[in-house]
Structure 1
Amino acid sequence: MLPRALRQSVPTLWRGFAAQAEASAPGLIEIREYTLKPEGMGAFMKVSAEYADVRKELLPFLGLFTCDVGSCLHRVTHLYAYDSFEQRDAVRGAAVRDPRWQQFIELSRPHVQYQENKVMLEAQPIYRALQLPPTARFAPPPKRPGKVVYEMRSYQLHPGYGSVPKLVEAFSAGLPAKVKADPEGRLVFFGHTDVGMLNNVVELWRYPSAQACIRARQSARTVPQWRETIAAVTPGVQHFTSAFLHPAPFSPWQ
């Protein structure tokens, strides 16, 4: 007999997830990146839009983004929130068996070159320092005129057990001052890998525009506490990347 979780309907699984995710700490955030065939970008996004409601029904879908600058331009990034690997297995297993999802995979797969994913843990000291809700509960503010940008910042740290805790500790001390100097940005996610390339730290910020992100950078450079934070963490960073992402029209996060 199948485990009880797999005998439940998907809507029931989803309601159970919502209740559990609110209480869970830390949450699991899965980041999936699909590098598409350049000529298939439009077709993939079209079929994704057509099956967006199915994705939202079956999976704990947070957002899907295309890259504007800073990374592969024919790559899509999407995020999901889970409370545990057991819950992830149950939800994804139910989705795989759904005929509608099977049809979406059949239509979208020809446009995909390869897929990557990683599961990340929310950095709880950062969330406490900034009094942030869990990422699964982030609610985008009302959209203003302009093109919303999500900036994804990724730090690859040196190997070793201490790399991530040291960075999280430093950021916990410095981020409140940085955020105070930046009224436009919203920190949506801050976490480190649990499965995937280890010692990888990812920040995801939301800005009302790309220029607002640049203004935030300029403001941060004038904040003494933030300058001290960067000086403290830089020796432990192997490389650092930044990319501007735009949410798809059907993305829950806008």
Structure 2
Amino acid sequence: MLASRCRLSRALAPRVRAPQVCSSFATGPRQQDGTLYEFRTYCLKPSKMNEFLENFKKNVHLRTAHSELVGFWLVEFGGTMNRVFHIWKYDNFAHRTAVRKALAKDKEWQEQFLIPNLAHIDKQESEITYLVPWCKIERPAKEGVYELATFQMKPGGPALWGDAFKRAVHAHVDQGYTKLVGVFHTEYGALNRVHALWWNETADSRAAGRHRSHEDPRVVAAVRESVNYLESQQNTLLIPTSFSPLK
């Protein structure tokens, strides 16, 4: 009898739902839009940098006939030198697979573009990234320099640190200290990694804006919150090449 009453009490008791973790930086909206961005970095032999760039400029149309090149830059400062960094856009993973298959059959691309350039590359790295749901790629109105700020965040994903990171980014943008091109987070590569791509008119204007932001209490407060979830950060100054769509 007592056991029956206990079962009845449990049945009538209000059910307590488990708390749900929500974030505007969550992965749901990203997965509905399958567009992905491949970040490729080539470490080149120092004596072959100019030759590589000339060949790329001459034959880049053979590669862009297959998929969209977002931007192509020389690494000026930050980390290993003699590097080039480029971003390629794909509709989804199936699109990228189809492009790679088509390139494998493209004799002109292989003979004029791929084979000559391979001899100049010491190492190459690739990451697959998505744009965060709350931004899109903004194309600067004129030529300038770019900065790729790479943040290694603590494990836990966007549900943990996404909102704080978003507030830190917007604090810089809203005050006009720099121009945001796009924010990407890594799907393949080091996880919990976020890349913010910024544009400035010159390296000196970037330095001036950064100094002003350090004295702005609105930016300082937002950044202080975000760094609670930060493990490391690396900034790279990028110079667009003459054939880069993003100048």
**TM-score grouping bracket, smaller chain normalisation:** 0.7 to 0.9
TM-score (norm 1): 0.79
Between the aligned partners of 1:122 and 1:74, the Cα distance in structure 2 is: 27
Give the aligned length: 215
Between the aligned partners of 1:238 and 1:174, the Cα distance in structure 2 is: 16
Task: Tell me the secondary structure at the aligned position of residue 253 of structure 1.
Answer: coil
Contact 1:182 1:220 in 2 (8 A): no
Unaligned runs of 5+ in 1: 1-23, 128-133
Contact 2:150 2:196 in 1 (8 A): yes
More helix as a share of residues: 1
Between the aligned partners of 2:140 and 2:153, the Cα distance in structure 1 is: 30
What is the identity percentage for the equivalent residue pairs of Structure 1 and Structure 2?
Answer: 27
Please name the residue that 1:181 is paired with. 175
Change (3 A) 1:165 1:228: farther
Unaligned runs of 5+ in 2: 1-31
Please name the residue that 1:166 is paired with. 160
Contact 1:95 1:101 in 2 (8 A): yes
Root mean square deviation of aligned Cα: 1.8
Task: Tell me the secondary structure at the aligned position of residue 65 of structure 2.
Answer: helix
Task: Tell me the secondary structure at the aligned position of residue 81 of structure 2.
Answer: coil
TM-score (norm 2): 0.81
Please name the residue that 1:63 is paired with. 71
Please name the residue that 2:4 is paired with. none
Change (3 A) 1:25 1:214: farther
**Pair 1:52-2:60 in alignment:** yes
**Pair 1:37-2:45 in alignment:** yes
Between the aligned partners of 2:91 and 2:219, the Cα distance in structure 1 is: 32
**Pair 1:105-2:114 in alignment:** yes
Between the aligned partners of 1:173 and 1:238, the Cα distance in structure 2 is: 18
> Which is greater in Rg?
2
Q: Deviations over 1:135-182 (max 9, x none)?
A: 3xx433133xxxx21100001122x334x3333211323433321322
